[in-house]
């Protein structure tokens, strides 16, 4: 259902208050937009995330008070280092996993974990390799070819070079937005997400989230916020807080092969096969790259232990 449809449907829910959409979050405050404008709302109960359709009411002297969150159509989740589930965003159309060939090092396993989380959440997923001005590393190209062969869209760009961004920008404009929901830029801290936003949104302040705008208190410093941005010419992007690792949440080890890139095409003769090392008759080692299998097995191992990240 389109976002407009969802908003219309939301009007008929039982939560009282005025309808709006969360376009910014910092700690326990959210920035809510409706046709009248934007205001900071304080959470009174249920936590809201970026992209949520909410109900709010005026709170004299302090913007607004959040009354409730409408049912989410999609939810992107991650498991934090303590094993707790965190919701990163709601009502997304998909994610763009941003990575770089170096600084920080290329990490195909991390991209695959994002793909798993997006596939499990029913989200589109695309890959963007930034900093191509630094040159490609040998291991990047084979991985990207593998994922492209599976149908994932891959962009190679540099936030520092406008001409490399033309196709990427056009794609974002036509594959996200009001009707379908935003795309979230996700990936490790330092891969260049903020730089990409700055290049795609000239004139807009996309800097460190805690210092983003005068909506938030002076002196507020936080790295846990998110913002939603509208692209000129259509399309919507969500920035996400910087992270050092990512693990999908809410998945059983036995479900991983359903969502891990390359496994649904595998046609292993055993139903319920876990594709573990040396498993007799399993075709995974013959048909998948070593890299893919290693990432898959590490994720299974992690989910089985559910303690330390890889
Ligand atoms: P974020 O943490 O993912 O938001 O990454 P930033 O946008 O803050 O960028 C981290 C660092 O990488 C900064 O020093 C940027 O100047 C640099 N950077 C970003 N994009 C590029 C790029 O395309 N090429 C090069 N060489 N450096 C980049």
**Over the stretch 110-161, which tens digit does the pLDDT of each residue have?**
999 999 999 999 999 999 999 999 987 777 999 999 999 999 999 999 999 9
Ligand 1 centre to CA of 195 (Å) is 6
Q: Is the CB of 164 under 6 A from ligand 1?
A: no
Average of pLDDT values for 41-62? Answer: 89
Q: Is the CB of 131 under 6 A from ligand 1?
A: yes
Of the pLDDT bands very low, low, confident and very high (cuts 50, 70, 90), residue 292 is: very high
277 or 90: which leads in pLDDT: 90
210 or 192: which leads in pLDDT: 192
Q: What's the token pair of residue 104?
A: 């920080």
d(CA 116, CA 205): 32
Q: Is the CB of 249 under 6 A from ligand 1?
A: no
Ligand 1, atom 24, lies closest to the CA of 131
Is it the case that residue 295 has pLDDT exceeding 90?
Answer: yes
Q: State the greatest distance between any 2 C-alpha atoms of the chain, in Å, as a whole number.
A: 68
45 or 24: which leads in pLDDT: 24
SS3 content of the chain, % helix, strand, coil (to 5): 30, 25, 45
C-beta of residue 101 within 8 angstroms of C-beta of residue 130: no
Count, in order, helices (H) and strands (E) of the chain.
8, 13
Q: Is the CB of 159 under 6 A from ligand 1?
A: yes
- Calculate the alpha carbon distances from 262 to 52, 89, 231, 292, 293 in Å: 32, 26, 33, 8, 9
| Residue 103 Cα: closest atom of ligand 1 | 12
Q: Is the CB of 189 under 6 A from ligand 1?
A: yes
d(CA 88, CA 308): 20
Q: What is the pTM of this model?
A: 0.88
The pLDDT score that the predictor gives to residue 273 is 84
């Amino acid at each position: 259902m389109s976002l407009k449809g969802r908003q219309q449907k939301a009007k008929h829910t039982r939560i009282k208050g005025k309808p709006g959409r969360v376009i910014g979050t910092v700690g326990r405050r959210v920035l809510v937009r409706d046709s009248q404008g934007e205001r900071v709302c304080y959470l009174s109960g249920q936590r809201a995330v970026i992209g949520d359709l909410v109900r709010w009411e005026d709170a004299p002297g302090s913007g607004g008070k959040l009354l409730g969150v409408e049912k989410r159509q999609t939810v992107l989740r991650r498991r934090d280092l303590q094993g707790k589930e965190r919701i990163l965003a709601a009502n997304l159309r998909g994610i763009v996993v941003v990575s770089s060939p170096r600084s920080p090092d290329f990490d195909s396993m991390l991209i695959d974990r994002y793909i798993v989380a997006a596939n499990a959440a029913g989200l589109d997923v695309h890959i963007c390799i930034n900093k191509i001005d630094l040159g490609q590393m040998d291991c990047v190209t084979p991985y990207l070819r593998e994922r492209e062969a599976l149908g994932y869209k891959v962009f190679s760009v540099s936030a520092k070079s406008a001409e490399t961004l033309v196709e990427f920008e056009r794609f974002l404009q036509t594959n996200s937005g009001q009707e379908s929901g935003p795309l979230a830029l996700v990936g490790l801290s330092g891969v260049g997400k903020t730089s990409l936003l700055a290049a795609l949104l000239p004139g807009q302040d996309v800097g460190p989230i805690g210092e983003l705008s005068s909506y938030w208190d002076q002196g507020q410093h936080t790295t846990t916020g998110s913002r939603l941005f509208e692209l000129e010419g259509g399309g919507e992007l969500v920035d996400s807080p910087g992270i050092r690792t990512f693990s999908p949440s809410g998945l059983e080890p036995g479900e991983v092969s359903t969502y891990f890139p390359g496994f649904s095409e595998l046609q292993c003769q055993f139903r319920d096969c876990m594709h573990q090392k040396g498993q007799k008759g399993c075709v995974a080692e013959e048909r998948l790259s070593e890299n893919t299998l290693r990432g898959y097995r590490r994720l299974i191992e992690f989910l089985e232990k559910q303690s330390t990240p890889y």
